[in-house]
A = this chain, B = another copy of it.
Amino acid sequence: MKDLPPFAQHFILHWGEMGTKWGINRTVAQIHALLFISDRPLHAEEICDQLGVARSNVSNSLKELQNWGIVKVVHLPADRRDHFESIQDVYELFRVIAAERKKREIDPTLARLRDCANEAGTTDNPADTHAKEKLESLLSFFELVSDFYTKMDRLPTKSAIQAIRMGDKIAKSIGALMK
Contact = CB atoms under 8 A, between A and B. Distances in A.
Interface in A156-173: 159-171, 173
Interface in A17-76: 18, 20-23, 36-39
B91 A141 contact: yes
Main secondary structure of the interface of A (DSSP, over half): helix
Contacts of A113: 11
B119 A10 contact: yes
Looking at A23, A104, A160, the one whose CB has the most chain B CB atoms below 10 A away is A23
Number of copies: 2
Nearest to A174: B162
A4 B164 CA distance: 42
Contact of A163 (B128, B152, B171): B171
A171 B148 contact: no
A155 B168 CA distance: 9
Interface of A: 5-8, 10-11, 14, 18, 20-23, 36-39, 88, 90-91, 94, 104-105, 109, 112-113, 115-117, 119-120, 123, 125-128, 130-132, 134-135, 137-138, 140-141, 144-145, 147-148, 151-152, 155, 159-171, 173-174, 177-178
Given A14-B116, A163-B171, 19 more contacts: A7-B117, A7-B120, A8-B128, A14-B112, A18-B105, A18-B109, A21-B23, A37-B131, A37-B134, A37-B135, A88-B134, A90-B138, A145-B164, A148-B165, A151-B168, A155-B171, A159-B171, A170-B177, A173-B177
